[in-house]
A and B are shown apart, each in its own frame.
Chain A
Amino acid sequence: DSGVTQTPKHLITATGQRVTLRCSPRSGDLSVYWYQQSLDQGLQFLIQYYNGEERAKGNILERFSAQQFPDLHSELNLSSLELGDSALYFCASSPRLAGKHTDTQYFGPGTRLTVL
């Protein structure tokens, strides 16, 4: 158990819908990262927050957005869902500021999103 929690574990929805994935980082961790993992593209970095502020963006679609709240939990919002958005979505957390590569990222169990 990494200490990172994600809800829900599974999510099935239809094309065009909007969903919200939730992540609670490890106690004391200030950085939260979101990743998407699909069979054809592997694990891809989406976005990172540090202490409530966006710090880095990766291959995140404009239909996707995220935020980190004062209590440090984070939400990833996916809208206008397409079949290709079906994937595992992972949240990870680490203690410190972005750029400290030696900070281990602790991953949550993931949310499996299925878009029908």
Chain B
Amino acid sequence: DAKTTQPPSMDCAEGRAANLPCNHSTISGNEYVYWYRQIHSQGPQYIIHGLKNNETNEMASLIITEDRKSSTLILPHATLRDTAVYYCIVIKGNDYKLSFGAGTTVTVRA
């Protein structure tokens, strides 16, 4: 699976949009971009995934660049409950074994 690179940490003001970048320059054509998050010591929680089109659900939006080498997760109105570690991973189309690295620690401040 392609490797991803994320900033180790970022702060965000409550009520503002949080934009989380992820680089996956070695992504191949059959690999999907997935985002999960993990609130302190809880189980990981699925957020969103995409292949090449931008995606939106009730939690977030995912913007994937045209060359698919990077993506951005957008939390439109961050709340204190969004404070968590966010993981960007790429998974082959026929795979399901998740593996997380360090992720981005997002701290939402009042």
Chain A interface (Cβ < 8 Å from any Cβ of B)? 2, 4, 33, 35, 37, 42-45, 48, 56, 58, 88, 90, 92, 94, 98-110, 112
B45: A residues at CB distance < 8 A: 2, 107
B29 CB within 8 Å of chain A: no
- Asked whether, in the complex, the Cβ of B97 is within 8 Å of the Cβ of A107, the reply is no
Q: List 6 A-B contacts (CB under 8 A).
A: A2-B43, A42-B101, A45-B98, A88-B41, A92-B44, A101-B94
Measured between C-beta atoms, what is the minimum distance from B6 to chain A in Å?
12
| Residue B62 lies at the interface, judged by CB distance under 8 Å to chain A | no
B46 touches A106 (CB 8 A): yes
Which residue in A43, A44, A56, A58 is a CB contact (below 8 Å) of B44? Answer: A43
Q: A88-B41, A92-B43, A110-B43 are in contact. Are A105 and B98 (CB under 8 A)?
A: yes
